[in-house]
Amino acid sequence: MPRPLLGRHTVVATTDVDQAREAVAERFCAHYLALTKAGSHLDMVHNAAPLGEDVMLNYMRYGDEVRITPGTFDDFYLIQLPLAGTAKVKVGEQVVLADRTRASIGSPTEPVDMLWSDGCEKLQVYIRRSAVEEAAAGIGGSGPVVFDPSLDLGRPEVRDWLKMVRLAYDNVEAGGSLLNSPLVAAPYEQALIGGLLTIQANTSLEIVSETGSPTISRAARMAVDLLEAHPERPWKVAELAQRVGVSTRTLQEAFQRDLDTT
């Protein structure tokens, strides 16, 4: 198995399920953890390095297949980027089949249930809930922010955001001092949070009509704009969803909720 990421920042490395559960609960939240197959073995590693007060990079693996059920995260968001293997992540009512092409985003108010495959390894970006809500308030958002849980890693804007994550990771991994300065770390964290709010559909990105009528989600508005701009095109729902950066199900629900139509 390749060398774990963030190797200078080990939180726990264990083959004991109880020890793994307790160590992760201390950093994240209480959760159910169990191996799913008879005769399987835990080979758990969790490395973690904070960038500042609000963002923390994590590397995690469990070895053989495991079921992890944390319920709601409550006070943080978790972007999970598979490096190897796959994971089936249920966030609220939506299931994300995460791999090297698609990541999952867990929002604090949405219940999460996960199945990590044998050999699954992830780079995880932990973001404090209060920091996201403060950033969303700065652009007119209010209340809890809920992201579409399916993050398409092939979208150009997502690739740009991942470059920011990679730059932070490279600095930490190399033992660099740049992010040790609060003059750098704080604005860099804000850039990561603002970038995520910009690239991924979420409940803070809504458009309010001039008459004060009910809000229309950004995803629905962008899809309508595409339909009106190219009425001759035989659009498919999946294609529209990909263009506006959400899952097919999320776009369908947005049209039903915001426009009262399919």
3-state class (DSSP) for residue 47? strand
Specify the pLDDT at position 163.
97
Quick: pLDDT tens for 143-202: 789 999 999 999 999 999 999 999 999 999 888 778 888 889 999 999 999 999 988 988
Crossing angle of helices 248-259 and 237-244, rounded to 10° = 90
pLDDT for 208:
42
- What's the number of CA atoms in the CB half-sphere (13 Å) around residue 23? 18
Regions of the chain short of the pLDDT cut 70: 1-2, 142, 205-218, 245
Q: Which residues contact 203 (CB under 8 A, 6 or more apart)?
A: 141, 143, 144, 145, 146, 217
Q: What is the pLDDT of residue 87?
A: 98
Structure tokens belonging to residue 192: 């990561």
What does the pLDDT read at residue 228?
78
Give the model's pLDDT for residue 1. Answer: 54
Rounded-to-integer distance, Cα 57 and Cα 47, Å: 8
Residue 209, pLDDT score: 39
**Dihedral sign computed on CA atoms, order 231, 238, 260, 244:** negative
Q: In the chain, how many H helices and how many E strands?
A: 7, 14
